[in-house]
């Protein structure tokens, strides 16, 4: 079996940190600067097959245009003869969604701080003629200093001055503005403001203002703006949220008015982006138009052995800061889409044990080397659940099994993970059984 570590140009590529229908996101390190980056990898064949060339070009161009401290930065775009690589800022702190689930709800002062950063980022986008159209906590990342970063511009629109209403119905139902659902056209700025209001409500309440089991009832509630603020919201917060969640886009509060609001302005320290940076889109055109002439060398560095070895640098960046407990703490990590456990069993035993467990759960298994994809109908019987597992060697005779959702509902994924770990409990290493009474147990408890 071969242990393969790839290089794409000057980037050494490590583990997969995200996976979707059309792309994978890999952790990587710039070998010249030592900087951590995230690389979004897309197959050219897939882009062409699904007629996504213009959409991907637009997403890349928009991310180059909207450079701001509260927006995930796009460093560069590269291509090989078969793939396109979008090199992005690596944001270490995870999604805002995860923080809300972990805490239940976020304090008013902290919610206001995140909301201020969100409004600053969205205002900057609007000044550049960009409307995000899919703002939600899952698309808001936090760096290791707690700074908010807007990500995922895949559904965004880039308009020219004087262009009227947008007409594409898109976004996530619970966060979408009522006028977007009307199919009569909508103002992108007003629609983004509505989504920001829903995010502020979710931060402070810990639940959605509009939530129904079926879409027609949900849309009815959104269109009528039927929601109630919890008793713990301050008067200032309630007043602002009601002005934002106004179902009439013409009377809905605008961003410049939000920034003047007394509740919003408390502790407000606006960040001014550098406006002197030149934005050049030539490399975007080159990647799509002249790919045969503009490509990076993709190399694989292979060694004989078992699973991919995870080095200390990757382990630290996988954890939050220098506290390694999130690497091995299943309970702390349970709210996330990416979960992991540790085993001292041989890698082959780990793989075969997972295969047996997956078969007993009625899942379809595809396995290659020390990576496995499991597929099945979700527990809620709606859509497919797909999970990717990968085994890493983190120390001699110590392996980490990285588990992540590739498709399906997040709650279904967590039910799957709980079931899986119960079935393979015999291979999961519990340090307390090996080194009792150690102070290290606080960081390595499973």
Question: Which DSSP category does 445 fall into?
Answer: -
107-125 pLDDT per residue, tens: 999 999 999 999 999 999 9
Q: 216 and 129, same structural domain? A: yes
DSSP-derived secondary structure letter, 15:
E
Report the pLDDT value the prediction gives residue 367, as an integer from 0 to 100: 85
Identify the CA nearest to 40 among candidates 67, 22, 52, 55.
22
* 106 and 183 in a common domain: yes
Tokens of 358: 């997956």
Residues 116 and 249 in one domain: yes
Encode 127-176 in three state secondary structure.
HCCEECCCCCHHHEEECCCCCEEECCCCCCEECCCCCCCECCCCCCHHHC
The Cα 253–Cα 257 span in angstroms is 6
Return phi, psi of residue 404, to 5°. Answer: -145, 150
Mean pLDDT of 39-67: 85
| Better pLDDT: 339 or 87 | 87
The more confidently predicted of residues 313 and 189 is 189
Least confident segment among 155-164, 303-312, 335-344: 303-312
Query: Is residue 438 in a domain?
Result: no
Asked if residue 316 and residue 246 are part of one domain, the reply reads no
Active-site position among 98, 120, 134, 412:
134
Asked whether 233 and 106 are in contact (CB, 8 A), the reply is no
Q: With 70 as the cut, is the pLDDT of residue 324 above it?
A: no
Average pLDDT over residues 304-321: 54
The yes-or-no verdict on residue 439 having pLDDT over 50 is no
Give domain status of residue 287, yes or no.
no
Q: Which pair of structure tokens corresponds to residue 44?
A: 């050219």
Fill in the DSSP letter of residue 85: E
* Whether 17 contacts 27, CB under 8 Å: yes
Cα-Cα-Cα-Cα dihedral of 328, 332, 337, 339, to 10°? 20
Q: Of the candidates 285, 303, 321, which is a domain's last residue?
A: 303
pLDDT-based confidence at 227, cuts 50/70/90? very high
Encoding tokens for residue 260?
């003047």
For residue 202, pLDDT beyond 60: yes
| pLDDT reported for residue 39 | 92
Cα–Cα distance measured from residue 254 to residue 197, given in angstroms and rounded to the nearest whole number: 11
**Residue 262 above 90 pLDDT?**
yes
Is 280 domain-assigned?
Answer: no
Task: Spell out the residues 6+ positions from residue 261 whose beta carbon is closer than 8 angstroms to its own.
Answer: 236, 240, 243, 253
pLDDT more than 90, % of the chain: 33
357 within a domain of the structure (yes/no): yes
Q: Same domain, yes or no, for 114 and 164?
A: yes
Q: What is the pLDDT of residues 71-90, one digit of tens each?
A: 999 998 888 888 889 999 99
Q: What is the pLDDT of residue 315?
A: 52
Q: What CATH number does the domain containing 248 carry?
A: 1.10.510.10
pLDDT at 297: 57
Is 18 within the bounds of a domain? yes
- Locus of tokens 């497919």: 384
Is the residue at 436 inside a domain?
Answer: no
User: The domain containing residue 243 runs over which residues?
Assistant: 96-265
Instruction: Report which DSSP code applies to 312.
Output: H
Q: Is 246 a catalytic residue?
A: no
Reply yes or no on whether the pLDDT at 343 is more than 80: yes
For residue 71, the 8-state DSSP code is: B
Helices (H) and strands (E) in the chain, counts: 17, 17
User: Are 130 and 194 in a shared domain?
Assistant: yes
Burial call 345-357: b when 16+ CB within 10 Å, e when fewer = bebeebbebbeeb
107 belongs to a structural domain: yes
Q: Which of 85, 75, 90, 92 is nearest to 38 (CA)?
A: 90
Residues 69 and 110 in one domain: no
pLDDT of the residue at 268: 93
If asked whether residues 172 and 314 sit together in one domain, one would say: no
Furthest-apart CA atoms within the chain: distance in Å: 69
Query: Residue 324 is part of a domain; what is its CATH number?
Result: 3.30.310.80
Task: Examine the domain organization and report whether 370 and 329 are in the same domain.
Answer: yes
**CA 283 and chain centroid, separation:** 25
pTM of the entire structure? 0.69
From the list 36, 45, 44, the residue with the least C-alpha distance to 75 is: 36
Q: Is the pLDDT of residue 103 over 70?
A: yes
Terminal CA-CA length for the chain? 30
* Same domain, residue pair 117 and 260: yes
pLDDT in tens, 351-369: 999 999 999 998 999 888 7
Are 158 and 220 in a shared domain?
A: yes
> Would you say residue 263 has pLDDT above 60?
yes
Tally of domains within the chain = 3
Helix residue spans in 252-389 (DSSP H): 255-258, 262-265, 282-289, 312-318, 325-328, 330-333, 347-360
**Do 84 and 153 share a domain, yes or no?**
no
Q: Is residue 367 part of a domain?
A: yes
Q: Which residue among 242, 273, 303 closes a domain?
A: 303
Q: Is the pLDDT of residue 380 over 60?
A: no
CATH number of the domain to which 38 belongs? 3.30.200.20
Tell me the β-bridge partners of 298: 8
């Amino acid at each position: 079996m071969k242990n393969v570590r790839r290089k794409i140009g000057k980037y050494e590529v490590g583990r997969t940190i995200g996976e979707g229908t059309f792309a994978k996101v890999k952790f990587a390190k710039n070998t010249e600067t030592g900087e951590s980056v995230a690389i979004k990898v897309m197959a050219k064949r897939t882009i062409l097959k699904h007629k996504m060339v213009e959409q991907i070009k637009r997403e890349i161009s928009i991310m180059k245009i909207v450079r701001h401290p509260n927006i995930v930065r796009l460093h560069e775009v590269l291509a090989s003869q078969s793939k396109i690589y979008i090199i992005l800022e690596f944001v270490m702190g995870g999604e805002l969604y995860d923080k809300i689930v972990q805490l239940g709800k976020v304090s008013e002062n902290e919610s206001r701080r995140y909301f201020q950063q969100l409004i600053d980022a969205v205002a900057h986008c609007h000044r550049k003629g960009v409307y995000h159209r899919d703002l939600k906590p899952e698309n808001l990342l936090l760096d290791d200093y707690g700074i908010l970063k807007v990500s995922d511009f895949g559904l965004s629109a880039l308009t020219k001055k004087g262009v009227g209403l947008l007409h594409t119905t898109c976004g996530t139902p619970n966060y979408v503005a009522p006028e977007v659902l009307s199919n009569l056209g909508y103002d992108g700025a007003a629609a983004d403001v509505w989504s920001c209001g829903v995010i502020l409500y979710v931060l402070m309440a810990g639940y959605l203002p509009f939530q129904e089991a079926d879409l027609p009832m949900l849309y009815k509630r959104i269109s009528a703006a039927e929601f109630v603020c919890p008793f713990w919201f301050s008067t200032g917060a309630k007043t602002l949220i009601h002005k934002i969640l106004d179902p009439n886009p013409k009377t809905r509060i605008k961003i410049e008015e939000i920034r003047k609001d007394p509740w919003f302005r408390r502790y407000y320290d606006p960040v001014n982006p550098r406006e002197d940076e030149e934005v050049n889109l030539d490399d975007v055109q080159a990647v799509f138009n002249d790919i045969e002439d503009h490509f990076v060398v993709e190399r694989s560095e292979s060694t004989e052995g078992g699973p991919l070895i995870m080095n200390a640098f990757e382990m630290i960046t996988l954890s939050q800061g220098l506290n390694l407990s999130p690497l091995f703490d299943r309970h702390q990590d349970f709210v996330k889409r990416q979960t992991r456990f540790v085993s001292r069993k041989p890698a082959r035993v780990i793989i075969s044990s997972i295969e047996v467990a997956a078969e007993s759960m009625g899942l379809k298994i595809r396995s290659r080397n020390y990576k496995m994809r499991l597929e099945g109908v979700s527990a809620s019987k709606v859509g497919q659940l797909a999970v990717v597992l990968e085994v890493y060697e983190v120390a001699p005779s110590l392996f980490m099994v990285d588990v992540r959702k590739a498709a399906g509902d997040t709650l279904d994924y967590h039910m799957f993970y709980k079931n899986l770990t119960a079935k393979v409990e015999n291979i999961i290493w519990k340090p307390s059984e090996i080194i009792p009474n150690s102070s290290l147990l606080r960081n390595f408890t499973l």
